[in-house]
Amino acid sequence: MKMKEIKNIINTYYIINILYGMGIAVFGATLYLYMESLHYSYAEMNIFLSLFWIVSFLTETPSGIIADTFGRKNTIISSCIIRSIGLLFLFIDWGNITFLILGAIFTAIGESLKSGTLDSWMIDRILAIDETFTFDKVFSINSMAGTTVNLLSGYLGAQVLGNIDLSYPILAGIILLIISMIVAIFKMKEPKRNLEENPHLINIGQSFNMLKKTTKEGIHFLRNDKTFFLICLSFLPLSFIISGPGNQWQLFFQDETKDINTGYIWVGLNLCSILGAYLSRKISSLSENKIYILIGSTIFNTLSIILCVLTGNYLIALLLFWLHVVITASEEVIRYTFLNQNIKNENRSTLLSFFNTLEAGATILALLLNGFFSDFYGIGNAWLIMSIISLVISIPVYLIVNSTIKKHKLGKSNEVMKTI
């Protein structure tokens, strides 16, 4: 009886996650093409994405408190409704910047409300039945199923719906989110909780105080750990490389014909991301000094973008773009591992949260700059400028980090020798 109930919870978790993911992925390969068809400038398109990042960042912590206060089921339903409204603003948009801004705000709030909420619901419901249950297999299957279905839905959204009308993938996203909401209404049940331990009146404003406190603590710890601070700085320029290709690839590779071909590129992009994550361990093992690995990946990443832009052959440019995706996916794993290994402070969560704050700020700046350069110099030239800026900033900082780490290790060994 217990196993049957647990199986129903897991199946509900899979269905909602897959439907919700499809609702986002279905327009993933055509969103920029759709905005271009509404005659938005490149800067305005990147304002949409920058606003999405800003609002997501500001609402991430409050959404967790909302979920714990008003229930995970209600939060998931709210997420589906609010994100659908955001997509509706985009669907009825005829080039009105107000609709674009509202679309960014509502979709970002919807994303924040979903983030971690469904996972928490599933875990709490199952642990209430079986405290010894392990979730490794559940998350593994969810990840594989989600990746596969999102890949296919993005392909169908571009190659089938997009070729009929570029607004149809947006409409399909709204429909899929509504279906997710219906499943949540009928299939999700809140776990029994001790209401005395989870009061319903929590001040949402305290989450912003938590954000302020985390920022202050992060600055304090970084002042006392110059090495970690330099590592954080050296990682930020990657945003300048990936901000353009990561979002504008649809515009760059869509030829002048009316037929949409970005669905095929979307499939390759996702497969390359998986390959990059798989190769990260093999690439990381090439040298014990991870800074050299990161310098090499940054150089190769920049070269792949430069050659992608400068080559006159469409197929070669596409292959070089996919190579950039493989390198980026691999580097992100190596960077995150290296970052964690160099936290020598017990306040790991605070430092990581502060790094995420810095990275979000760098991403927003990169998107705005890329939009500006794209409007004035074209997409390809914007990619070149941003990649060169990243290379010029990151390499010297990487070398300084490498030197600082070596001095730190040498200092430690001398201290050990003195004690002996």
**Bigger pLDDT: 147 vs 267:** 267
Q: Say which residue the tokens 């110099």 belong to.
A: 377
Using 50, 70 and 90 to split pLDDT, how confident is the model at 281? confident
CA distance 273 to 254: 21
Q: What is the DSSP string of 334-379?
A: HHHHHHHHT--SS-HHHHHHHHHHHHHHHHHHHHHHHHHHHHHH-H
C-alpha neighbours within 13 Å on the C-beta side of residue 227 = 17
Closest CA to 26 of 167, 146, 159, 157: 157
| Average confidence (pLDDT) over 373-401 | 91
Question: For domain 2-190, which architecture applies?
Answer: Up-down Bundle (1.20)
- CA torsion through residues 275, 277, 282, 283, sign: positive
Pick from 53-62, 82-91, 221-230: least confident: 221-230
| Average confidence (pLDDT) over 221-243 | 79
- In this predicted structure, the answer to whether residue 377 has a pLDDT above a threshold of 80 is yes
Q: Fold identical between 2-190 and 212-419?
A: yes
118, 139 contact by CB (below 8 A): no
Q: What is the mean pLDDT of the chain?
A: 83
Correct CATH for 212-419 of 3.30.1330.60, 1.20.1250.20, 3.40.228.10, 3.40.50.300:
1.20.1250.20
**Bigger pLDDT: 191 vs 66:** 66
Pick from 9-23, 132-146, 260-274, 386-400: least confident: 132-146
Q: What is the pLDDT of residue 205?
A: 57
**Bigger pLDDT: 227 vs 396:** 396
| Average confidence (pLDDT) over 404-418 | 55
C-alpha neighbours within 13 Å on the C-beta side of residue 29 = 29
Q: DSSP class of residue 191?
A: P
Which contacts (CB < 8 Å, 24+ apart) does range 60-66 have? 60/112, 60/115, 61/207, 61/208, 61/210, 61/211, 62/112, 62/204, 62/207, 62/208, 63/109, 63/112, 63/113, 63/115, 63/117, 64/116, 64/117, 64/207, 65/202, 65/204, 65/206, 65/207, 66/113, 66/204
Domain ranges of the chain: 2-190, 212-419
Length of the chain: 420
- Burial (Cβ within 10 Å: 0-12, 13-18, ≥19) of residue 418: exposed
Q: Highest mean pLDDT: which of 107-111, 115-119, 335-339?
A: 107-111
CA distance 340 to 342: 5
Using 50, 70 and 90 to split pLDDT, how confident is the model at 334? confident
- pTM assigned to the model: 0.80
Using 50, 70 and 90 to split pLDDT, how confident is the model at 72? confident
Q: CA dist 402 to 177, 224, 396, Å?
A: 47, 18, 10
Q: What is the pLDDT of residue 237?
A: 84
